[in-house]
Structure 1
Amino acid sequence: METYDALLASITPGSGETRTIFDPATGGVVGEAPVHTVADLETAVTAAVAAQPAWAALGHDARSAALFKAADAVERSAEELAQLLSREQGKPLNGPNARFEVGACAAWLRAAAGTPLDPEVIVDDGETYAELHYRPIGVVGAIGPWNWPMMITIWQIAPALWMGNAAVVKPSEYTPLGVLALVKVINEELPEGLLSVVSGGREVGARLAEHPAVGKLMFTGSTTTGKAIIRSSADTVKRLTLELGGNDAGIVLPDADPKTIAEGLFWGAFINTGQTCAALKRLYVHDDIYDAVCEELTTVANNMPMGNGLDENNVLGPLQNKAQYDIVANLVDAAKASGARVLLGGNPDPGQPGYFYPTTLIADIDNNNPLVAEEQFGPALPIIRYSTIDQAIEYANALDVGLGASVWSPNLTAAREVAARIEAGTVWINKHGAVDPRVPFGGAKQSGYGLEFGVEGLKHLGVPQVING
C-alpha cells in the first residue's frame, strides 16, 4: 500500500506531454496525466500480443488466482484510490460513490475470477457428440467513460483477463488518473505487458477501434461515439460489446406507497449525481398518487447534502465537467420556460466554485419536453403524469434507446407483467440500476449490444468453438 501522494507520483510522467487534471468541485489541480500517442498505443498492443499466449496457457485456475490477488491489491490501496477518484471525478467519498466504486472494483474482480465457464455438451445422443468451448480472443481493447471510470474499467478487463486475453485500456480524457492508478495497482499481480493503459485523445481511441491486432473492443459511452466505433471496427470484423446511452424510464403503478418507494426512486435517479448510463431519467407516475410521490421524493431529495466530495458529510457532488453542466442547465432552463413546475432546485449559484448543479425535480412536464426526451445525465429528474398503464408503457417505449427501466409496485405479478412490455435490456422491480456481477447486463435498441457480467458476459469475451465428434 502506498500513500496517496506516492500513488499519484507513481503515475505522473517524468517527461513528455501532459494534461493538467482539475478537480470539478474546486477547480484546483489534481495532477498531471500523460498524453499518450498512437505510437504509445502501438507499443502497448505489441506488448499485449507478446504476453497473451503465456497468460492463456496458464489455465483458468492460475488466472483466477492472479485476479483474486489483484482484488486484494485494490483493497490494500482502496482509500488512496477513492481519494484520487473523488478529486478527479468529483463524486463524494461516501454514499454510493467513490469508496463504493473502489469496493466494486475488488468485488467484480473476484466475481469474474470465481465464475466457472465449463465446456457445454450440446448433443450426446449415441451417434453425435458435440461440445461448445470458449477460447481466448487475443487482445481486447477497452474504452471507458468518465462517470464510473474505475468500476467500468474493471467490468471490461476482469472478464477479458480471466478468459485468457490481454487488454489495452483507453480511459476518458476527463478521468485518466484514477484508471492509471488502478491499473498500476492491479499490475502488481499480473505479468508484464498483459494489461496497459494508453491515456490519449480521440485519435488513440480511433486507432484502438480499427487496430488489426485487437480482436475485441469494449466501449461504454455515448451512442454517437458507439456508432463511430462500429464503423471503425468494420474492416477487421472486430467483436464488439457496446454499452451506450440510455434514457431510462421508471413507471410507478397506482398501488405503490409513495413514502416507501421515495428513497429508492431518489437513488435510482441521483446515484453519482445522476451521471450514470442506467440511472432513472424519466419518472412516470399514475394520477392517483402523483402529488404524493412528488411530495415524498422532494422530502428525500431535500435531505441529501451536496458539496465537495472530500467532505465526509456529502453524498452528492458536482457534474464532472463544464460541458455536462451546460447540458443539464440548458435542459432545465427549457423545462422551466415551457411552464413545467419546479419542485426543487433549478437555481444554480453562479458564484459557487465547481460544476455544482442543485438537485432538481421538475413536475407537470410534457412527455415531449427535451428534459424528458433527451438524456440529461445529471441531477435533474422530470416527473410525468399518466392515466393508464398502456399510456405509461407507450411513453416509456417511445425513444430509440433502451438500456434499463423500472416498475414500482407491491404487486410483483402486476409489476412483472408491465416489465415484460418495456423495451429495455434490464427492467428492475422496486429498484433501479442495481447491477450484479452474476446477472447479465446489456442494452436494447440504440443503447448498444453485447452482454457483460456473469457467465454470459464471459462468453462474450471468448471465441466459441464447437468440437464435434
Structure 2
Amino acid sequence: MTSTFAARPATVAGTADAEAVRSASGGREVLRVTNPADGSEVGRVPIAGAEEVDAAVATARAAWPGWARIDPGERGRLLHEAAAAVADAAQRLAEIQHRETGRPLAEALAGARAGASTLAQYAELGPVHRGRSLMGAWTATDLMVPEPYGVVVALTPWNDPVAIACGLVGAAVVTGNTVVHKPSEKCPQTGLALNELIREVLPRGVLVSVCGDGLVGAQLAGHRDVQLVAHVGSTATGRAIAEAAARTGAKVLLENGGNDPLLVDEGVDPVWAAEQAAVGAFTNAGQLCTSVERIYVHRGVADEFVEALVAQARRRVARPSGPEEIEMGPLVDVGQRERVHAHVADAVRSGARALVGGEVPEGPGAHYPATVLVDCAPDMLVMREETFGPVAPVRVVDDFAQGLAEAAEGRYGLAATVLTPSMEHAQAAWRELPVGTVKVNAVFGGAPGGAAQPRGASGTGFGYGPELLDEMTRVKVVHVGPPTRGRRG
C-alpha cells in the first residue's frame, strides 16, 4: 500500500491494497476505497491512530464485567434484535459491499442474509451453552463452567464480510465477551454499517469498531489487554498474529488460506462434474475460502470434462446479456489481479495451456476472465499455493489412487471435494485427505451446525457452528466442599 508516512512498522493483520492517503481537510491518514469494477472512488475512511486503538480496547475492557454478568437469556434476546436489524438492512449492506468489493449484488445479498441468520442462530445457542457436572465426593459439588475470555479482537476479510463478521461477533458477545472489530481495509464501509446496526441494540462498549490497514490490525493483535484474537484471512497474516499473541498470551482462532483440491473420478457424468468444478472455481470470482483451487481428473473422463469446463468458463462474464450467461464480478483490486495473473503466467511458462481466459483484459477495474488451464504439473504455483481467483488448473491422473495421493499433498488443510460413484473411493478420500472438511459429490453444501477445524497452514480452531461457542469461552473447574465445623471446648 502507499503511505505518506516516511516509515511504517511491519504489519501483521493484512497487506492492504486499499490506498492510504492524506485527508485534504485535517492531514489525517485515511483509507481510499475504490470500486474494483471501474476504479472509481467510493469512499474515504479515517485510519485509527495508536491512541484510538488503545481507547477502543479500553472501552471494550471497561464494558466487559457488566456484560459478562448479564443473564445469558437477555444477551440472546438482544442478539435476536441485532439479527432482525441486519435482516432488514440486508439490501443496503449488499449494495455497499457490491461497491467496495465488486461482488455481484445477488451473492452479496445472500451473504448479508446469511449473516442475519447466523446472529439468530447464536442468539438461540448462546443461552443453552453449557458446562459439565463432575462425579465428585457425595458431600461436594464439582463443576466445569464455561466463562468468557474478556476482550475479543475480530479481524474479518473482504470476500464475505457480513456473514463472517456476524459469526465471530455473534458467538463472542452472546457468551459474554466484548468485541473490538476491525473489518478489512478493502471494505471498511461495509463493516462500519454492519457494526452500527448491531451496536444500536447492545450496551455501550460491547462492540467497538476500529478501521485501518494492517498496522492497525497489528496493534490490536498484539495489544496487552486483548484475551482472544479471531482472524479470517491469509496464512501469512495468521502466522504473524500467532507470533504476536504468543508474546501477550492471547488465544488465537484462525481460518486462513487454502489450496482446496477437487477429485473427479472415473464413472461420473463429466458434464455434471464440470458444472460442479465451475461453481467451485468461479463463484465470487474464485475469492472464497473453500474455492476449488486445483483439479485432478481421471483420464477416462478427462476430455469430456475439460470440454464442458471450458464451456462453463465461457458463460462467466462481467455483464450478462442472456440467460445462458452468469455474472462474475471483478477481483477485489488490481493488486489481487496481479497476483492471480502471476500464478497463471508461471503455469504457462512451465508448460500449461490456457484453453480459455488467462489474459488481463483492457479497460478500467480489476476484472479477470474465468480461466481453464490444462497440462498442469504439481510444482506449478497454481497447484501449490492459494491463487484466490477464477482459475481452474486441471491435472489428468491415471487412476483415483494417484489423484488422491497428489490431492493430499501440500501445506494447507482447509477443505476438499471428491466426485465419485464409488463408495470405496469416497470412504478412502474422507479418511485420507488431511483437511478439515471433505465434501463428496457436492462442491458446496452440508447440514446446518457443521463445524470444521482447519489443518496445517489453513489455521486452527473451530471458526463456526456451535463449537465456536466453545472457542469463545474457557473452562473453569469448581470444587465446592462442605464447611469445616469447629470443635467446641
Amino acid of the structure 2 residue aligned with 1:150? V
Amino acid of the structure 2 residue aligned with 1:69? E
Distance in structure 1 (CA, Å) of the matches to 2:116 and 2:327: 22
Distance in structure 2 (CA, Å) of the matches to 1:138 and 1:129: 26
1:189 matched to 2:201? yes
2:32 is aligned to 20
1:59-103 superposed Cα distances (whole Å, 9 cap, x missing partner)? 221111111111110111111111100000111112xx2111111
1:9 is aligned to none
Instruction: Say how many residue pairs are matched.
Output: 451
SS at match of 1:54: helix
1:387 is aligned to 398
2:108 is aligned to 98
Cα contact 1:425–1:443 (8 A) shared by 2: yes
1:114 is aligned to 124
Q: CA deviation at 1:436?
A: 6.3
Match of residue 335, structure 1, among 341, 347, 366: 347
2:383 is aligned to 372
Distance in structure 2 (CA, Å) of the matches to 1:168 and 1:437: 27
SS at match of 1:415: helix
1:438 matched to 2:444? no
2:408 is aligned to 397
Distance in structure 2 (CA, Å) of the matches to 1:302 and 1:386: 25
Q: CA deviation at 1:427?
A: 1.0
Q: CA deviation at 1:14?
A: 9.5
Cα contact 1:404–1:433 (8 A) shared by 2: no
- For structure 2, which runs of at least 5 residues remain unmatched after alignment? 1-22, 481-489
Residues 298-313 of structure 1 correspond to what in structure 2 (within 5 A)? 298-307=310-319
Does the C-alpha gap of structure 1 residues 206 and 257 become closer, same or farther in structure 2, counting only changes over 3 Å? Answer: same
1:226 matched to 2:238? yes
Amino acid of the structure 1 residue aligned with 2:381? P
Does the C-alpha gap of structure 1 residues 138 and 366 become closer, same or farther in structure 2, counting only changes over 3 Å? Answer: same
Q: CA deviation at 1:179?
A: 0.4
- For structure 1, which runs of at least 5 residues remain unmatched after alignment? 1-11
Q: CA deviation at 1:260?
A: 2.5
Q: CA deviation at 1:445?
A: 1.0
Which moves more between the two structures, 116-125 or 50-59? 116-125
1:291 matched to 2:303? yes
Cα contact 1:362–1:382 (8 A) shared by 2: yes
Q: CA deviation at 1:389?
A: 2.6
Residues 28-427 of structure 1 correspond to what in structure 2 (within 5 A)? 28-94=40-106, 97-115=107-125, 116-123=128-135, 130-307=142-319, 315-350=327-362, 352-412=363-423, 414-427=425-438
1:333-373 superposed Cα distances (whole Å, 9 cap, x missing partner)? 222223323222112322x2110010001112112212211
Percent of aligned positions that are identical? 34
Alignment TM-score, normalising by the size of structure 2: 0.87
Cα contact 2:271–2:305 (8 A) shared by 1: yes
Does the C-alpha gap of structure 1 residues 148 and 347 become closer, same or farther in structure 2, counting only changes over 3 Å? Answer: same
Cα contact 2:53–2:210 (8 A) shared by 1: yes
Cα contact 1:20–1:31 (8 A) shared by 2: yes
Distance in structure 1 (CA, Å) of the matches to 2:380 and 2:454: 24
Cα contact 2:461–2:471 (8 A) shared by 1: yes
1:455 is aligned to 466
1:300-333 superposed Cα distances (whole Å, 9 cap, x missing partner)? 222233249xxxx863111101221011111112
Distance in structure 2 (CA, Å) of the matches to 1:66 and 1:424: 36
1:428 is aligned to 439
Distance in structure 2 (CA, Å) of the matches to 1:125 and 1:436: 41
SS at match of 1:420: helix
SS at match of 1:254: coil
Cα contact 2:93–2:190 (8 A) shared by 1: yes
Distance in structure 1 (CA, Å) of the matches to 2:447 and 2:249: 30
Task: Please say which structure displays the higher CA radius of gyration.
Answer: 2
SS at match of 2:316: coil
Amino acid of the structure 1 residue aligned with 2:376? I
2:4 is aligned to none
Q: CA deviation at 1:433?
A: 4.6
Cα contact 1:304–1:314 (8 A) shared by 2: yes
Which moves more between the two structures, 337-346 or 247-256? 337-346
